[in-house]
Amino acid sequence: MSDGLMTRVNELLSHYPADKKKSAMLPVLHAVQDAHDNWLSLGLMDKVAEILEVKPIEVYEVVTFYTMFNQKPIAKYMFEFCRTSCCALRGGEDLMEYTCQKLGVKQGETTADGMFSVVGVECLGACGFGPMLQLGDNYHENLTKEKIDTLIEDCKQGKVNLH
């Protein structure tokens, strides 16, 4: 891990008691993932365990539980469609399928150029604005096929800010 990242990690740890480093696991994992092309290798997870003074399995448990942590390289643009009931009732699954067909991938797959992937995730807490998806740190709500078309085109043209 770079010196800059370690500085960031130490700053995060400073918010917690020295004997409760484990409490910083989520922010530390986010910082480490952000600094490594948005995914966490086994080596990085082990390093986080070392820093937090926990067993590696405790880090694996967290990383494998939350969909915001990626265990393998992902596409530049990962469309995370909510597939829970409110969004599903408003056509979320159909829109996810539409997006898959448009990009020529199945759920969980990445396009050959590494630009796009489509995944289904559980409720993202924007139930009143479904169907919705998360792209980077941003939500795209009240989706339609037209909005999906525009979003994909904007991504291709580099107009979409992920943070």
Distance CA 34, CA 17 (A): 24
Burial of 128 (0-12, 13-18, 19+ CB in 10 A): exposed
Q: Quick count: other Cβ atoms within 10 Å of Cβ 31?
A: 19
Distance CA 158, CA 137 (A): 16
For ligand FES (CB under 6 A), the number of binding residues is 12
**Nearer to ligand FES (CB atom), residue 7 or residue 142:** 142
CB of 91 to ligand FES, least distance (A): 11
Residues 6+ apart with CB under 8 A from 103: 111, 116, 118, 152
CB of 87 to ligand FES, least distance (A): 3
Q: Pick from 12, 127, 135, 160: which binds ligand FES (CB under 6 A)? A: 127
Residue ranges in 62-91 that form contacts with ligand FES under rule CB under 6 A: 82, 84-87
Q: Pick from 9, 48, 124, 148: which binds ligand FES (CB under 6 A)? A: 124
Q: Which of 26, 27, 32, 46 is nearest to 1 (CA)?
A: 32
Based on the shown chain and the rule CB under 6 A, indicate whether residue 133 belongs to the binding site for ligand FES: no
The piece of 8-16, 71-79, 124-132, 150-158 that touches ligand FES (CB under 6 A) is: 124-132
Residues in touch with ligand FES (CB under 6 A):
82, 84-87, 123-127, 130, 132
